Amino acid sequence: MTYNAFHPPVRTLMGPGPSDVPPRILEALGRPTIGHLDPRFIDLMDQVKSLLQYVMQTENPLTMPVSAPGSAGMECCFVNLVEPGDKVIVCQNGVFGGRMKENVERCGGEAVMVQDAWGSPVDPQKLEDALKAHPDAGVVAFVHAETSTGAQSDAKTLVEIAHRHDCLTIVDAVTSLAGTPVKVDEWHIDAIYSGTQKCLSCVPGIAPVSFNERAQHKIGNRRHKPQSWFLDMNLVMGYWGQGARRAYHHTAPVNAMYALHEALLMVHEEGLENAWLRHRRNHEALKAGLEAMGLRFIVDRDHRLPQLNAVAIPDGVDDAAVRTRLLQEHHIEIGAGLGDLAGKVWRIGLMGYSSRIENITQCLAALDGVLADLGAPVNHGAALPAAEKVLAA
């Protein structure tokens, strides 16, 4: 075997993540590496923490980036808040609710499942009924923006219900953070986690998390040590605490933190509400084009994520063949369906830097051309005029 330097192709990433990383963030990655306890890096850590608080809309002191991908952010919340024997209500309306269940069980807890159809939001009444049936539950967990379906649930209402029953809440905001409103303090979310590779358009591999005072009280008064040493917040905060004196815990991914800082700075410069508006406006243009083509969304309008569009694959169309041609001929990546939706939907992302007008027009033109060439039952040539009409309004 011959080994050579790896030079990846240039792709337009319009799947469920990662999203396109802008040149400014890629440049930040290439800056000189310094020590993870260097005073200048400590300054950067403080800025990252403050910018994360802005993006998450929280003043929680325990807000930080976990040095691992979003799945580790999920595990971080569960291993710190769930102990052996604890009962947890887990709401599932897609793949990632199932991963929450797995985390509960690995922590020694008991997961009580509240099931909703894939593509639907979590039903608040079902959560209310489950909590009445299980008054000994201590935690409620749900996915705010279900990446596998493109459905968004009403986090504020679900948290209110959980708190009425004296439960802590764990919220998955991997796909929603910086794309649609996430208001940790206003909604009184106890623990929340996200990822950097979605609407922040940073490189994969970092998971922002935040815990409020209620969650911190639980963390500080556990009966057992968390099963994960690396993710034990009692230890990690010695490194990610405030001020110059930091206790060594692990070697942070220094250059990835440069990239995260730059990504957060870009959101701050754009303005968080402007970022939400951009994702919504571009979704409307993509939606107009896809529907003019004859494609159907699987999530109803009121619960549809603007940054992740799940559309039904037309009858008789080969899912993999379309995605392969888009990638090989047009260098565009869109996502396949997962779990119950495998082979039934495409997931088209408009996240972060990928949420640009040129990406919308490029994707619609390429998808229209491939489907027409394959003889799919679509309205060939209708997509771009419909999208452009929305963009011109």
Element spanning 112, H or E = strand 110-115
In this model, does residue 198 exceed pLDDT 60?
Answer: yes
What's 143's DSSP letter? E
Write the CB contacts of 331 (distance below 8 Å, at least 6 apart in sequence): 9, 10, 11, 12
Cα distances (angstroms) measured from residue 166 to each of 25, 111, 131? 42, 17, 10
**Residue 30: band (very low, low, confident or very high) from pLDDT cuts 50, 70, 90:** very high
What single letter denotes the amino acid at residue 134? H
Whole-angstrom distance, CA of residue 255 vs CA of residue 32: 8
Cα distances (angstroms) measured from residue 282 to each of 276, 354, 357, 389? 10, 10, 7, 12
In this model, does residue 260 exceed pLDDT 80?
Answer: yes
Would you give the distance in Å from CA 126 to the centre of its chain? Answer: 24
Whole-angstrom distance, CA of residue 325 vs CA of residue 323: 6
**pLDDT of amino acid 150:** 97
Is the distance from CB of 62 to CB of 233 less than 8 angstroms? yes
Count Cβ atoms within 10 A of the Cβ of residue 393 and give its class: 0-12 exposed, 13-18 middle, 19 or more buried. Answer: exposed
The average pLDDT across 195-202 equals 98
Using DSSP's 3-state secondary structure scheme, residue 171 falls into strand
Smallest Cα–Cα separation from 36: which of 254, 275, 320, 209? 254
The average pLDDT across 40-65 equals 96
Using DSSP's 3-state secondary structure scheme, residue 223 falls into coil
| Range in 89-103, 242-256, 310-324, 362-376 with the lowest mean pLDDT | 242-256
Write the CB contacts of 384 (distance below 8 Å, at least 6 apart in sequence): 289, 361, 364, 365, 368
In this model, does residue 240 exceed pLDDT 90?
Answer: no
Write the CB contacts of 388 (distance below 8 Å, at least 6 apart in sequence): 285, 361
Cα distances (angstroms) measured from residue 274 to each of 41, 51, 268, 271, 329? 29, 16, 10, 5, 34
Q: What is the pLDDT of residues 2-26, one digit of tens each?
A: 999 999 999 999 999 999 999 999 9
**Residue 243: band (very low, low, confident or very high) from pLDDT cuts 50, 70, 90:** low
In this model, does residue 244 exceed pLDDT 70?
Answer: no
All structural domains of the chain, each given as residue ranges with its CATH number in brackets, are 23-268 (3.40.640.10), 271-392 (3.90.1150.10)
Whole-angstrom distance, CA of residue 91 vs CA of residue 362: 37
Count Cβ atoms within 10 A of the Cβ of residue 302 and give its class: 0-12 exposed, 13-18 middle, 19 or more buried. Answer: exposed
**Residue 238: band (very low, low, confident or very high) from pLDDT cuts 50, 70, 90:** confident
Q: Which residues pair with 139 in a beta bridge?
A: 88, 168
Is the distance from CB of 322 to CB of 356 less than 8 angstroms? no
Smallest Cα–Cα separation from 355: which of 309, 310, 313? 309
**pLDDT of amino acid 241:** 76
Q: What is the pLDDT of residues 175-191, one digit of tens each?
A: 999 999 999 999 999 99
Q: What is the pLDDT of residues 120-156, one digit of tens each?
A: 999 999 999 999 999 999 999 999 999 999 999 999 9
Spell 226-237 as b/e; 16+ CB within 10 A means b: bbbebbbbebbb
Using DSSP's 3-state secondary structure scheme, residue 145 falls into strand
Residue with token string 């959101």: 267
Percent with pLDDT over 90 in the chain: 96
Q: What is the DSSP string of 344-376?
A: TEEEEE--GGG--HHHHHHHHHHHHHHHHHTT-
Smallest Cα–Cα separation from 194: which of 179, 211, 209? 209
Cα distances (angstroms) measured from residue 23 to each of 65, 175, 201, 224? 22, 22, 11, 45
Kindly state the tokens that stand for 238: 């010695």
